[in-house]
Structure 1
């Protein structure tokens, strides 16, 4: 079984057990999709009884697919922290590129499961949960890169990175090049394009206006208010 990354969750909250269940289920998702069958087989592999599974993921396989994003975010942050000075010494754009690369590398063994998850979500309208997950991912990347902004740049940075990450993810899904060289080259181009565009707009004001609304909504959802952005 893949080694679990250090968790930033309190001990005893069952995060480690939920991670173990997820990583046991993912290989089955590649064949059976995000189904009860995959959940049952993975639970058997990991040694969990049905009663334990019901406690770990009350929402069933759908809840476990959501947990994939949480696991990937935490694993990414842990991996970047392990890199220490090698990561901290990078420029900001290099840190962001590294964060995206690390997250995709962690998901590489489970690419088919990620593909099936994206296909399943594409059949449903953009949900509050999907916004929340996307916000958490790009926020984790920026925070790992040292960003602590609280003004309009908070939203513009995360909005721009969401576009970069989403487009890079689509390329990555079909990238069979050695070391995902195609994905890496695409990521560098996208980051370069975004930075060039940003420099054309003084203070990123217009970018902030364009990107702010969905991520202001996601931030409010995270805080439990659930109100729409103005």
Structure 2
């Protein structure tokens, strides 16, 4: 029932958010147009427009996952699969709705919500691509992809090239940068001197584990491997 209400609100929000942002006024007008009593809308979204904006972001994540599940990425290089996932996620959003969301989550009181939503998008992408890491790599993968996705969103919002061609080129460059870092990490690991120097720090880092539950963020420390 609550999901149906939020879906109705999101459908109606497209007529108001581009003009009024994710604001109290837009939320009230959205509820009115959706035929949802404002008290019922508040029950579904206790913080009003903030929760509705987060619901819009989550809906984009779902659309991306569904598109990834339906696509055949088997013949793609892994870096191209990542690029496809980021592209699918961007194409799941409407630019002005996303722009207004970034304005909302740039506010100090909502910055944590925005960072969490960005992290969840990166998490969804890695899970969809089959990531099974359970150590510090769980965090570094998501942190790196969050940076790639966040910077690409900003570029996308200002891109007026045909079919956002410039954005996809920008995305490819960002992923290439990340791949160079991964290549450097592999070279350091293969270097005996560097490996010896990093043995102590790596032993400590090796104790880091990925979260086991949604309420276990940001993970836990294990005394054993």
> By the TM > 0.5 criterion, same fold?
yes
How far apart, CA to CA, are the structure 2 residues paired with 1:78 and 1:190? 24
Q: 1:204 to 1:65 in 2, by over 3 A?
A: farther
The equivalent position to 2:70 in structure 1, one of 67, 79, 82, is 82
1:97 matched to which residue of 2? 83
Larger radius of gyration: 2
List gaps (5 residues or longer) in structure 1: 1-11
How far apart, CA to CA, are the structure 1 residues paired with 2:24 and 2:109? 23
Q: 1:44 to 1:103 in 2, by over 3 A?
A: same
TM-score normalized by structure 2?
0.80
2:194 matched to which residue of 1? none
Contact 1:156 1:204 in 2 (8 A): no
What is the correspondence of 1:146-185 to structure 2 with a 5 Å cutoff? 146-185=130-169
Offset of 1:20 from its aligned partner? 2.7
Contact 2:118 2:146 in 1 (8 A): yes
Count of residues in Structure 1 that have an aligned counterpart in Structure 2:
207
Q: 1:49-103 deviations in whole A, cap 9, x for unaligned?
A: 22321221122111111212211111110121122xx234422211111111011
What is the correspondence of 1:65-76 to structure 2 with a 5 Å cutoff? 65-76=53-64
1:202 matched to which residue of 2? 186
- Secondary structure of the residue that 1:27 maps to in structure 2? coil
How far apart, CA to CA, are the structure 2 residues paired with 1:43 and 1:204? 56
- Secondary structure of the residue that 1:193 maps to in structure 2? helix
What is the correspondence of 1:99-138 to structure 2 with a 5 Å cutoff? 99-107=85-93, 110-124=94-108, 127-138=111-122
TM-score normalized by structure 1?
0.78
More RCO (CA 8 Å, sep 6+): 1
List gaps (5 residues or longer) in structure 2: 190-197
The equivalent position to 1:223 in structure 2, one of 197, 211, 215, is 215
- Say yes or no: does 1:62 pair with 2:50: yes
Contact 1:132 1:221 in 2 (8 A): no
1:8 matched to which residue of 2? none
Q: 1:204 to 1:141 in 2, by over 3 A?
A: farther
What is the correspondence of 1:14-93 to structure 2 with a 5 Å cutoff? 14-83=2-71, 86-93=72-79
